[in-house]
Chain A
Amino acid sequence: GAVVSQHPSWVICKSGTSVKIECRSLDFQATTMFWYRQFPKQSLMLMATSNEGSKATYEQGVEKDKFLINHASLTLSTLTVTSAHPEDSSFYICSAEGQLNGYTFGSGTRLTVV
């Protein structure tokens, strides 16, 4: 079945640094990738939608300059949290949409900013 690999699975970083999260579709081409954030005991909140080769579409309230999304190929999308602060600590999950596969989720990245 369709597999999406997300790395790292967890990361701890210092406040002010940047963190890059990768999301790869291993056995299919993802026409669209989605990035979600989930705070404890809350549901997934869509942050942005990216299509290969074009700029990401950000949801209202999500700072595009803080959460940089690059979708350079049909199998890779990256989310970079720039100048991270403790309030950015969260569980970040990517989801890839393939033409035939529906939506497949990565395993998530738990980010802790100290």
Chain B
Amino acid sequence: RKEVEQDPGPFNVPEGATVAFNCTYSNSASQSFFWYRQDCRKEPKLLMSVYSSGNEDGRFTAQLNRASQYISLLIRDSKLSDSATYLCVVEYSSASKIIFGSGTRLSIRP
């Protein structure tokens, strides 16, 4: 079983729609969680950290469920520019390393 698992998609949704992704992780020792965005042929860029209490940044909402070991990302009022691959990232602070999920491809159509 992979340490971090995501639905690869692709998710193809119309502009303005709400879309949600989930990501599961296997190691309960995981300590920090992030969502990264990666555009085609570019490096990943941090979208947002994920906190236990859940957090929101504009149209983006991230949530963490430690009991079920998953994190989620919700995008409201999606824009064409949201088209990208979204990577779930889990940090093991004790080992000082981060593990990427396989990514979920999102395509927003006009």
B79-98, CB < 8 A from A:
87, 96-98
Q: Mark A63-91, 1 if CB is under 8 A from B, else 0.
A: 00000000000000000000000000001
B97 touches A44 (CB 8 A): no
The residue that B100 contacts in the complex, of A44, A97, A108, with Cβ under 8 A, is A44
How many angstroms between the C-alpha atoms of A45 and B44 in the bound complex?
13
Supposing A42-B102, A44-B87 touch, asked if A105 and B44 sit within 8 A by C-beta, the answer is: yes
For the complex, count residues of A whose C-beta is within 8 A of B: 20
Q: How many residue pairs at the A-B interface have CB separations less than 8 Å?
A: 37
Please state if A44 and B44 are interface contacts (CB–CB under 8 Å). yes
CB pair B102–A43 under 8 Å, yes or no, is: yes
Residues of B within 8 A of A15 (CB): none
Partner of B43, one of A43, A46, A97, A107: A107
How many B residues are at the interface, by size bracket?
Answer: 10 to 19
Are B96's CB and A43's CB within 8 A?
Answer: no
CA distance A36 to B101 in the complex (A): 13
Task: List the B side residues contacting A93 at CB < 8 Å.
Answer: 43-44
Q: A42-B102, A43-B101 are in contact. Are A32 and B46 (CB under 8 A)?
A: no
Residue from B87, B98, B99 with most neighbouring chain A CB atoms (10 Å): B98
Tell whether, in the assembled complex, residue B96 and residue A49 are in contact, meaning their CB atoms are under 8 Å apart. Answer: yes
Asked whether any CB of chain A lies closer than 8 Å to the CB of B66, the reply is no
Whether the Cβ atoms of B97 and A49 lie closer than 8 Å is: yes
* A residues neighboring B (CB under 8 Å): 32, 34, 36, 42-46, 49, 91, 93, 95, 97, 102-103, 105-108, 110
Give me 18 other A-B pairs in contact (C-beta within 8 A), A44-B44, A49-B97, A95-B98 excluded: A32-B96, A34-B97, A34-B98, A42-B102, A43-B103, A44-B87, A44-B100, A46-B97, A49-B96, A93-B43, A97-B96, A102-B46, A105-B43, A105-B45, A106-B43, A107-B42, A108-B43, A110-B41
Cβ contacts A to B, 5 pairs, < 8 Å:
A34-B97, A43-B102, A46-B97, A105-B45, A110-B41
Q: Which residues of B contact A (CB under 8 A)?
A: 41-46, 87, 96-103
